[in-house]
Amino acid sequence: MSSDTSGFQWFGRGFVALYALFVAFPLYWTLNTALKPLNYIGTFPPTLYPRGFTLDSIVWVLTNSRAVNAITNSLIIASGTTILSVILGALAGYAFSRFASRIDPGGHVSFWLLSTRMFPPIAVVLPIFFIYGQLGLQDTLLGLILLYLTFNLPLTTWLMRDFFDKIPVSFEEAAYVDGYSRFETFRKVVFPLVRPGLVATMMLAWVFAWNEFLFAWIITGNNTSTITTIIPTLIESNQIQWNRIMAMAVVVAIPPTLILIAFRDNIIEGMTLGMTDI
């Protein structure tokens, strides 16, 4: 019995190690390539270490005005859309969770909201392009923030509704009976309990906006390029600047990684909807 268990455990660990390698290798290769000069990148056989180690391409990413602008733009867009979609999504999610029978009998409204995520985004690229042209939103930060908001809002609303559903209504009623107003109740009872979910939702919304390519490529121009739209421009007609592409990838991977590390407990708790405390 015990040997079975430990055998299974060893198998499990081996599998996890293998999977970790599988996931980590491309990341390592990105870093490896970013630290090589361009002329060593295409050599055969490739080297597992950064041969001719140089920080040139990293420095390029951090100093080139186009790259720096793109990073700034992406930060503004991702953060703006995250703040809006989490605030609005949390409010909507709370309403769907607590007043469903009044505002959404039959669940059609919330289903409609979710259904907007069910078709491939490319189906609406063209209409959005023309609508944005009419509204003067092409190539603006606000345009992308609003666009990502429409994509994020169904997600944040549904997630937040699930998190609020996990909190028994009696928790709030008990606070009302004890003399707390609705707002105070939300602040002292609901918010602390829903915080892990809120953080997880924020992260998902942020990462979506940070990583989005298709709409950014179509909507933005020279004024508002984002990180994802800068990278394809490094594929030039006569050469592909692999080192800069990879350096860009390394730099833009840093913020989500930091977020993940900082909030990992909340995120795991939130992602698994595992508010086991309740």
Partner 1 sequence: MAKVHVQDLTKEYGSLVATDNVSLDIGDGELVVLVGPSGCGKTTTLRSIAGLETPTSGSITFDDVDITDKSPQDRDISMVFQDLALYPHMTAKENIAFPLRAEDGHSESEIDSAVNDIAEVADCDEFLDKKITSLSGGQQQRVALARALVRRPEVFLMDEPFSDLDELLKRQLRAEVVRLQHEFGVTMVHVTHDQEEAMTMGDKLVVMNDGNVAQFGDPDEVFSEPQSLFVAMFIGSPQINRFDCHLSWDGDTAVLDDGEVTFEVDGPLVDALQMARGDEITACVRPQLLNWSDDGSGGDFAVPVTVDVVEKIGTEDVVRCQTPNGHEVTAEVATGVLDEGMEGYLTFTAESLHLFDGHDDDAERLN
Give contact residues for partner 1 (rule: CB under 8 A): 168, 170-171, 173-181, 184, 189, 192-193, 277-278
The helix or strand, by DSSP H or E, that contains position 102, with its residue range, turns out to be helix 100-103
* Residue bearing tokens 């953080």: 199
Q: Shortest gap between Cβ of 92 and partner 1 (angstroms)?
A: 24
* Residue 133 or 168 with smaller CB distance to partner 1: 168
Q: Shortest gap between Cβ of 197 and partner 1 (angstroms)?
A: 13
- Cα angle 6, 12, 15; round to 5: 145
- Cα angle 252, 255, 256; round to 5: 95
* Residue 254 or 278 with smaller CB distance to partner 1: 278
Q: Shortest gap between Cβ of 89 and partner 1 (angstroms)?
A: 22
Q: Shortest gap between Cβ of 163 and partner 1 (angstroms)?
A: 14
Q: Shortest gap between Cβ of 190 and partner 1 (angstroms)?
A: 10
* Residue 180 or 263 with smaller CB distance to partner 1: 180
Q: Shortest gap between Cβ of 273 and partner 1 (angstroms)?
A: 15
Cβ proximity of 194 and 107 under 8 Å: no
Burial of 209 (0-12, 13-18, 19+ CB in 10 A): buried
What is the CA 76 to chain-centroid distance, rounded? Answer: 14
* Residue 112 or 171 with smaller CB distance to partner 1: 171
Give the DSSP per-residue string, 46-76: PPSS-TT---HHHHHHHH-HHHHHHHHHHHH
Backbone φ, ψ for residue 52 (5° rounding):
70, 40
Q: How far apart are CA 275 and CA 278, in angstroms?
A: 6
* Residue 139 or 162 with smaller CB distance to partner 1: 162
* Residue 4 or 277 with smaller CB distance to partner 1: 277
